[in-house]
Structure 1
């Protein structure tokens, strides 16, 4: 089994992939450390599954290189790359039992039956499917089938696991449960995993590193914390997070030698926020920029921790829409011609049309160039 085994790092260098004149991947550079969990995330058609398929060897690359460990695998047949892939479709043999499905690859390699059974039983115990070994796929739920598909991959002891949207066919609750199982499995095996999803919550939950793709290019490659709190551009800011980061247009002004950001509410009133430590913003005086702030950074006094944070600014706003969500209450207000989501305490009693005081946590604010959409640093 894989426990305690050092897995292989993966290095992708200047990778391009074209179909005829259509360029799908445009100069991808990534490095995944031994035992890392990389999630490739982005909207449909961004190239994330194509990138995974090039790592697997299912797609030939146009140029560049892919290394697993210290060896280049560019041009190498998939069977010689020592990788295992888990698909969203499970791809189980319907006429074989769970045990036979898990052990099929080992049987094809001529591994002794007793050795196969020992490995199958260990994997089944790890995935908590021991009682299912004599059943056939048609007798299993979606979550159980996915566990079997994962077991078939694990038993091969590959250097790298590749997951292609493995949870997309499951219902919402089962997705959350299986997400936890995959996280636990990674912690237990210490395996190197590259995982494709369009679900940014899945990406944030599982990854040690995230690569956000758009139109075949990497927009940002970093830890979940940096991706969420310090997005490199407006696409990443808007794509990562549920609800997404609020992006509000307004003007940078100088008042008494202090920099402020001014935005208007739906009645045309100017709301000013003091900005004292954003480097580069001094180059945008009297210019329009985009102010980015997460919903949880605009909240009521109970959540804000006002006494301990000097960068909280209190402003009176008019509530447009209220959306109760159990532990949180989301209130919609309007600034800069945009609907802005704020996150209040779940016990907050607010109503549409009501004026309330909310706090802006400016220590978590970011700014973007309105033309390039890149972050101002």
Structure 2
């Protein structure tokens, strides 16, 4: 196990900068998830940490020692790829032990390692099968087993679940989390799925266009987004981002929203000092769907619940929840309500806004107002 530190990392292909001054650090035994849309640079960042690609400038340290310039074989790492990369003519046991054979590890030690990871991943009955006889989930377990026998300082996972169906992806996500808890090994994990990021990570790095947008715990990234991109990207459904006008009356600050029918209403705001500088101006109110709900479903521990009447456009029952679509500030807005909430499309209903969980952004810079 080892800590991982990245300092002012740049990566260019000719004149094209792909990674632009990345700084982040994960503790020994941590689970770092690199997340972002396609083309944001997350896989390139993983490849530079693993040594599959050279960096242009900056430094990468594993266990406190610089590995910049070292080949992957000298970094004491193991990788699990999206494509599984299994040898089709070998059995599961042979696939798992192949790397050890190349390194001339003794047979007894190889067999012990195979048994250890087979028990850990519950694939003991698959050891004599070949990859063509396995399901996608089983192949992914074998690919993980091949990495686990290495006992490296850092594991790298490059979108390992993207080829699996939705249910299997959830099951494998749980297995990976359980595996990390059991081993305590440092993991760097790439995904475009922000739910994977939130459920697996001890720290999340959100990337966009080669820049690190935010780095923090899942709770920090979800509840305290630094800008509108992070607010919109993290969470499903994503955060509602609604234009609102700031009103300052003495010591009192509020934001004014406009409903679909042109009706306006105010929402009081507390403990956001920076909003007073925007008096009379339009900013962006960010509120998660679960913080906009029916009064009975609101957080009873919050002291900033504000109830307002809003017209419901569409109702979407979703089993454990009911989603109501509103139009506030000219934007489609999603409210997450209890499954049995009494709400009807085309009618006005009372909604509870939890203003303790509301955040605000500058329209032009897209940065958080604090």
Q: Give the TM-score, by structure 1 length.
A: 0.97
1:39 equivalent in alignment to 2:37: no
* C-alpha deviation, 1:256, in angstroms: 5.1
1:153 equivalent in alignment to 2:139: no
1:188 equivalent in alignment to 2:182: yes
Q: 1:194-343 residue pairs with structure 2 within 5 A?
A: 194-255=188-249, 257-306=251-300, 308-343=301-336
Q: Distance in 1 between matches of 2:311 and 2:261?
A: 10
Aligned residues: CA RMSD: 0.8
Q: Distance in 2 between matches of 1:309 and 1:43?
A: 33
Q: 1:81-230 residue pairs with structure 2 within 5 A?
A: 81-230=75-224
Instruction: Answer whether contact 2:299 2:354 (CA < 8 A) is retained.
Output: no
The structure-2 alpha-carbon separation of the partners of 1:22 and 1:305, relative to structure 1 and needing over 3 Å to count, comes to closer
Following TM superposition, where does structure 1 have runs of at least 4 consecutive aligned residues deviating by more than 2 angstroms? Answer: none
The structure-2 alpha-carbon separation of the partners of 1:13 and 1:309, relative to structure 1 and needing over 3 Å to count, comes to closer
The structure-2 alpha-carbon separation of the partners of 1:241 and 1:357, relative to structure 1 and needing over 3 Å to count, comes to same
* C-alpha deviation, 1:284, in angstroms: 1.1
The residue number in structure 1 matching 2:348 is: 355
The residue number in structure 2 matching 1:4 is: none
Q: Distance in 2 between matches of 1:279 and 1:116?
A: 62
Q: Distance in 1 between matches of 2:248 and 2:10?
A: 46
The residue number in structure 2 matching 1:50 is: 44
Secondary structure, counterpart of 1:280 in structure 2: helix
Q: Distance in 1 between matches of 2:91 and 2:302?
A: 59
Aligned residues: 370
Instruction: Answer whether contact 2:6 2:61 (CA < 8 A) is retained.
Output: yes
Secondary structure, counterpart of 1:59 in structure 2: coil
Deviations 1:88-122 (A, max 9, x none): 00000001110000001111111110110011001
Q: Distance in 2 between matches of 1:182 and 1:354?
A: 45
The residue number in structure 2 matching 1:24 is: 18
Query: Which of residues 350, 364, 367 in structure 1 aligns to 2:360?
Result: 367
Q: Which runs of 5+ in 2 are unaligned?
A: none
Q: Distance in 1 between matches of 2:257 and 2:32?
A: 38
The structure-2 alpha-carbon separation of the partners of 1:345 and 1:108, relative to structure 1 and needing over 3 Å to count, comes to same
Q: Which runs of 5+ in 1 are unaligned?
A: 1-6
Instruction: Answer whether contact 2:260 2:311 (CA < 8 A) is retained.
Output: no
Q: Distance in 2 between matches of 1:194 and 1:55?
A: 9
Query: Which of residues 13, 33, 38 in structure 1 aligns to 2:7?
Result: 13
Q: Give the TM-score, by structure 2 length.
A: 0.99
Secondary structure, counterpart of 1:88 in structure 2: coil
The residue number in structure 2 matching 1:73 is: 67
* C-alpha deviation, 1:281, in angstroms: 1.0
* C-alpha deviation, 1:305, in angstroms: 4.2
Secondary structure, counterpart of 1:162 in structure 2: strand
Deviations 1:256-301 (A, max 9, x none): 5311100111111111001121121111111111000000001112
